Structure 1
Amino acid sequence: MIFKYRWAIAAVIVICFSGYLYLSFKEQTSFVNKVESNKKQSSLEQTDTPPHYASIVAVPTFVFEQEQKPHIALGLRLFLDPQLSSNGEVSCESCHHIYDNGAEDIRVSKGVKGEGNRNSPTVFNIGLNTRFFWDGRANSLYEQIDGPIHNPLEMNSNWGDIAARLSSQASYQSAFAKHYDEVITEDTIKDALITFMMQLNTPGAPFDKYLKGEANAMPQAAILGWEKFQDLGCIYCHQGRNIGGNLFQKFGSVEPVETLNSDLGRYQQTNDINDKYVYRVPSLRNVALTPPYFHDGRAQSLEEAVLVMAKVQLGKDLEATTVVELIAFLDSLTAPNPPILKELRK
């Protein structure tokens, strides 16, 4: 149990440090309605912005000591291991390609039954989130890890079977013995996975350098796109260190959106009629690398995603130059893969 509380405490610290808070749909809609009257101001400076609004800052690099390397490597090994699934064929990496973009380039990811219902978000920078899954049903990485393990469409497994399977292998026994006093358990497996996943930050994007004062880090088109991103009100939902990932919003808040499947969003967790088609706002970091887009993977390109968002969330038809500038800004959010991956290969 010590590991469970350890990560629960860490989650509280992240929430307090980052300033991420849940905004009601009414609060978000109210802001969108005010965007026009504030168009000339940066959204970071608007006086009518809620006091708990979280500003955008650069991605931090998690520094680790060399003695931590074997512990992190154990988490990576588990992340890549299909033994965590019931049929021994699906690993975490199956849907989250960490040596590519941390996600998967198909509309919806498929698990042990060859089926799926939602697009896989990237796991890069996942430690900076305070809400997890498209419906936001988990509030910590410790809770999040249960989701794919138990989901019958994903890994369809359980921690007891996983622990027993790993405990029967001498190499795992030795690896866990170096870091934990306990035998291989649900808590120690989760702790190793989280220790690795917390290192998946991607610092060094041109936008981060720009935020730190490097005026020439972004091309002019990206700077103009950043200004449009603020003026249009995109920043209200896509904010904080991850430029999204922690708030909820209705998909189609201004104009209804055709549903592609039976997914009702957060409503499936809360049974609140107001939560129908409400989803966690995704992070935009590295977004240029992670098509297709949205919870159902309906948008195949960044241009399509931008046009859909403008139309159904803001009620706007964007000019072609604005789309080009917004995409240039979104491209500036692309960073090199997590440094830890290169470090673990040494």
Structure 2
Amino acid sequence: MPAHGSLARNVLPGLARLIAVAAALLAMTAEAQEARQGLRQRARQLFEALPQDMATKEFPTTPARVALGRKMFFDPRLSVDGTVSCSTCHRPGLYGTDALAKSIGAEHRLNARNAPTVLNAALQFKQHWIGDRANVEEQAMKSLVGHASFGNPDYGVVIRKIKTLGYAGEFAQTFPDDRDPVKPENWGKAIGAYERTLATPSPFDAYLNGDLKALSSQAQRGLETFINIGCVSCHNGVAVGGSAFQKFGIFEDYGKETRSQSIDEGRFNETKAPADKYVFKAPSLRNVAMTPPYFHDGSVATLPQAVHVMGKVQLGKELTDREVSDLVSLLNSLTGDLPKDFATEPVLTSRAFSAPTP
């Protein structure tokens, strides 16, 4: 009995301490789990997971429209010199961009601004950096003519090319209720239908849908920072941005941090309204890790540098190295897989060289 009593005196207190430690660890784990759930709930109030596609009642993604739009998206022969297609500035291998500070259109003409990614673009409330295109359909149609992009002198030239290249039959099948189906508006609708299928669900979407493990602990810290310091005021919703205009350089002139070679006055160039000076569309951040260089003029080469610049000029904050690293980890979680029909280009068959339709 004495031996048993000694054992009890020596072992039981140690066992009790182990049980207490285990209970404390369980409590901490439960608390951490609750905090993670709470962060996700906050995120669900500010962001939305990607839809399967971006069709609307006005702009459906019918199979015929998408198929026609895909072919023409990759066809350079509709440009004035036969060298530029939509995919020239929106390359699959570069996540729907061209990796240039400013894009180069037909006849080697320099565009005014950096080409944003075409992936998920239809989610945004306007198109182009200054929002001078209402939607992806209008953007596609208007890119056919003028100085930039395709460079055709007028739409009549484009219509003749469409017919010469043998697309007239597909236009008639795709737009059967239209007495004159070969027209720029329908070209825009077909391109737009294809672009509305280019959704790239990411780990961030899986997280929003309930998979807490889809984001690393660092990315979750980045999400908390993103919300707490105010990034979310411009970059929210399903596109994580792309839903409002904002002045670039709230706390200081943006050129001081970006070292831009020239200062773009943004929407002011279009509207001439003083309030629109240096105002641009706040871009979507989806796939941002894959689409350098950054900003409207491609003046910043790396994502950490771009995050640092945004902290200074938009939030008035000097972000720490850890904050920048955490935010970049979050932004990496917005990278999705390329859509299968975008990752490979279609073959433009010989029938595209048939005689023009009368």
Band of TM-score, shorter chain: 0.7 to 0.9
Distance 2:274 2:150 in 1: 30
Question: Larger helix proportion, structure 1 or 2?
Answer: 2
- The residue type equivalent to 1:150 in the other structure is V
Residue 63 of structure 1: CA displacement?
9.2
Structure-2-length-normalised TM-score: 0.76
Q: 1:137 maps to which residue?
A: 132
TM-score (norm 1): 0.79
User: Which of 179, 182, 185 lines up with 1:184 in the alignment?
Assistant: 182
Q: Which residue of 2 aligns with 1:73?
A: 67
Instruction: Give yes or no for the alignment of 1:58 onto 2:49.
Output: yes
Match of 2:213 among 211, 216, 221: 216
- 1:201 match: 199
1:91 matches 2:82: no
Query: Is the contact between residue 58 and residue 212 of structure 1 (CA under 8 Å) also seen in structure 2?
Result: yes
> How many angstroms apart in 2 are the aligned matches of 1:263 and 1:247?
18
Contact 2:287 2:335 in 1 (8 A): yes
Percent identity, aligned pairs only, is 35
The structure number with the bigger radius of gyration is 2
| SS of residue paired to 1:150 | coil
CA deviations over 1:205-231 (Å, ceiling 9, x no partner): 111111111010111000000000001
Q: 1:57-84 deviations in whole A, cap 9, x for unaligned? A: 11111299xx944431210111111122
The answer on whether the counterparts of 2:308 and 2:319 sit within 8 Å (CA) in structure 1 is yes
Query: What is the DSSP-based 3-state SS (H/G/I as helix, E as strand, rest coil) of the residue aligned with 1:145?
Result: helix
* 1:150-189 aligned within 5 A: 150-157=145-152, 158-170=154-166, 172-181=167-176, 182-189=180-187
Deviation per CA, 1:263-287: give whole Å up to 9, x if none: 2100011111111111000100000
Please name the residue that 1:292 is paired with.
Answer: 293
Q: Unaligned regions of 5+ residues in structure 1, if any?
A: 1-40, 47-53
**What CA distance in whole angstroms lies between the structure 1 residues aligned with 2:94 and 2:203?**
19
Stretch deviating more after TM superposition (156-165 or 138-147): 138-147
How many residues are matched? 295
**Alpha carbons of structure 1 residues 215 and 159: separation in structure 2 relative to 1, 3 Å:** same
1:257 pairs, out of 250, 254, 257, with 254
Matched, 1:331 2:332: yes
Query: What SS does the aligned partner of 1:318 have?
Result: coil
Please give the root-mean-square deviation of Cα atoms over the aligned residues, in Å.
2.6
Q: Is this contact kept in 1: 2:119–2:199, CA < 8 A?
A: yes
Q: CA deviation at 1:155?
A: 1.8
* CA shift digits 1:4-48 (9 cap, x unpaired): xxxxxxxxxxxxxxxxxxxxxxxxxxxxxxxxxxxxx98x969xx
Change (3 A) 1:211 1:183: closer
Matched, 1:101 2:99: no
The aligned amino acid for 1:266 is: R
For the pair 1:117 / 2:112, whether they are aligned, the reply is yes
Q: Is the 8 A contact 1:250 1:276 kept in 2?
A: yes
| Distance across 1 between alignment mates of 2:48 and 2:83 | 39
